[in-house]
Amino acid sequence: MGGSSKNQPQPTAGLGGPARLLGSAAALTLLVAALSSIWRFLAAQSPSSPIHVGPLVGPIENLATAGWIAGVAGLALAALWPRLALAPATARRIAILLVGGWAVLLVGLALGAVLGTTGTQVIKAYPRTVTVLMIKLVGFVALLIGLARLVGAVLRAKGRPDRGD
């Protein structure tokens, strides 16, 4: 009886559980990147143009670029996730932390694009800039913690003796 649980598939196998969450978040991020790329094109038009839409191009470009990078990286991570050999509870916690951190960071980038601020000014900053900066920092820190925990969990899993599979 004790050995039968070893042969049961892990919830992280395939595109279920955390891998599915990461893949869905990556796909949504790529959609945001595509839409913000169109927005970037429209914002780059002359302000006198009838197709000009948006405030400054820079914050919109930040949103689009970060979206493309994170979307592709998220799809790659979702594809690799089943091979990481993480305990199911650990995998779920890390995936939620990664997706949550990225979601908060994405909201900060989107808010910055709408308000026309990159959210990087600290000294003599406008209140909206500070708000965008704080949202981005919270998301970025959560994302970094999630990545650090992922690396630590993978290194611990790789350091365990082979289970005899």
pTM beyond cutoff 0.85: no
Q: Which residue has the higher pLDDT, 55 or 84?
A: 84
Strands (E), the chain: none
Residue 148 reports pLDDT greater than 90 = yes
More confident residue, 153 or 52: 153
Tell me which of 28-32, 93-97, 102-106, 122-126 is least confident: 122-126
- The segment with the largest mean pLDDT, out of 43-52, 91-100, 153-162, is 91-100
Q: Pick the more confident residue, 49 or 31.
A: 31
135: Cβ–Cβ under 8 A, 6 or more apart, which residues?
104, 105, 107, 108, 111, 119
Q: Which residues contact 154 (CB under 8 A, 6 or more apart)?
A: 84, 85, 86
